[in-house]
Structure 1
């Protein structure tokens, strides 16, 4: 909602409008395709910020935008949770006898990477 508001505020500032060109075609496109564009952008990394801001800038219907964002967020979060749960269960059942070795390896990797990064930062000019 904040990105939508940022885009809507940007459309109202005259000094910003001279750098950006609003056409009737782009406003109509965002009005017609708000649901599809917002839903798809939820699943494409890096697409939400520019698209949500553009929806506000081009005046996409706020109600359609809001309902789509909420629905896509619910679906996206549920899918991520179910995927993480199923992968986690599989890993626990498959590698249960190795879990302590894996935990030790994780701790050692974190400690090693921390020391490596600290050493590299000291040597940089």
Structure 2
């Protein structure tokens, strides 16, 4: 049985989750939620609530299907300043109807002095396949 989030109504669905600088395992990537088979991603928003403050690099990425950054790339949001980036377009296998339930994985990569703060909220908007 699928654990993906899917409402039977014909409406835009979403996944919402936080990424924190100190989440356990965040450097290697943390599984967050699951998108259902047949879903079409229509955009992702990233709200940086608390700027990430590592010394040199502060990269938040989100991906599915074993790809670290096909939903949100390092260039899509400004992690070092509070603010909202809207309607980030997916790429690769995330840009076509999903062939199977897909686990969403979030990563925070840092270099230079270690971060002591940082929080982003990610909202992935998608339309499920109501025929599945």
Higher strand residue share? 2
Max Rg structure:
1
Normalised TM-score (structure 1): 0.22
Specify which structure has the higher proportion of helix. 1
Relative to the length of structure 2, the TM-score reads: 0.22
